[in-house]
Amino acid sequence: MIIVHHLNNSRSQRILWLLEELGLDYEIKRYERDPKTMRAPASLKKVHPLGKSPLIEEDQVVIGESAAIMEHLVGKKGRFGAPDDPVLARHYNFYMHYAEGSLMPPLFGMLIVNKLGLLGFPARKPLRGMLAEHFGFLDRELSSRGWFAGPDLTAADMMMSFPLEAAQSRAGLDDRYPNITAWLNKCHERPAYQRALARGGEYDYA
């Protein structure tokens, strides 16, 4: 049995989505953010020294990092992984890493800046400009493909779901980027996504 160490309003929601798409049995162990600091509870450090979510546990082995977890899970069923076409496979590999490596850092920066009030004001304009470049790039990418790695849903889309949901919530992603908006709507309409929401509980970004 797969155990998902699931933190509310976190990246682990996309792991639940993949598990539902794959039809794998899993159990959820829930953790709640500290309402003041929004940090994960110290109890997660008993599972992994960094105390971060998502984590999955299977056969007493703990796996962390969203992309590593997803690659492990898609390997179990051979679905939602890299397409056979080499060009689409490159898109898949790019977005599996881009989601956290390139898109999340400025989004996290915007979160911090917004919490700083007037102290964060000087950083807002350059961060907004950086994010607008990302959103424009992604919107153009989706104009020629139904999903990020081609005509079919893959784990790359699930990796991209959390940063773009967060961006829509707090970082200026709106109807100026219609292809991203349409893509998010397609994600949210999937029955497996809805089942994952029902099982995962509180998630403010959907």
pLDDT, averaged across the chain: 94
Instruction: Please state the rounded mean pLDDT for residues 115-125.
Output: 71
- Domain ranges in the chain are 2-80+192-200, 86-190
Per-residue pLDDT at 119 exceeds 70: no
Q: What percent of the chain has pLDDT over 70?
A: 98
* Separation between Cα atoms, residue 50 and residue 10, nearest integer Å: 15
* Separation between Cα atoms, residue 166 and residue 170, nearest integer Å: 6
Confidence of residue 94 (pLDDT cuts 50, 70, 90): very high
* Separation between Cα atoms, residue 119 and residue 103, nearest integer Å: 23
Options 1.20.1050.10, 3.20.20.70, 3.40.1180.10, 3.30.1330.50; CATH for 86-190 is 1.20.1050.10
Which residues are CB-neighbours of 88 under 8 A, at least 6 positions away?
82, 149, 150
Give yes or no on whether 2-80+192-200 and 86-190 have one common fold: no
Per-residue pLDDT at 116 exceeds 70: no
Instruction: Please state the rounded mean pLDDT for residues 86-108.
Output: 97
Phi, psi (rounded to 5 degrees) for 12? -65, -15
Confidence of residue 113 (pLDDT cuts 50, 70, 90): confident
**Tokens linked to 188:** 């949210």
Strand partners, 82: none
Within 42-154, residue ranges assigned H as helices are 66-77, 86-98, 104-115, 121-143
pTM: 0.94
Query: Among 24-38, 43-57, 103-117, which stretch is predicted with the lowest mean pLDDT?
Result: 103-117
pLDDT of residue 53: 96
**Tokens linked to 133:** 């470049």
pLDDT of residue 120: 63
Instruction: Please state the rounded mean pLDDT for residues 71-92.
Output: 97
Strands (E) located in the chain: 2-7, 26-31, 55-58, 61-64
CATH 3.40.30.10 fits 2-80+192-200, yes or no: yes
User: Which SS3 state, helix, strand or coil, does residue 75 take?
Assistant: helix
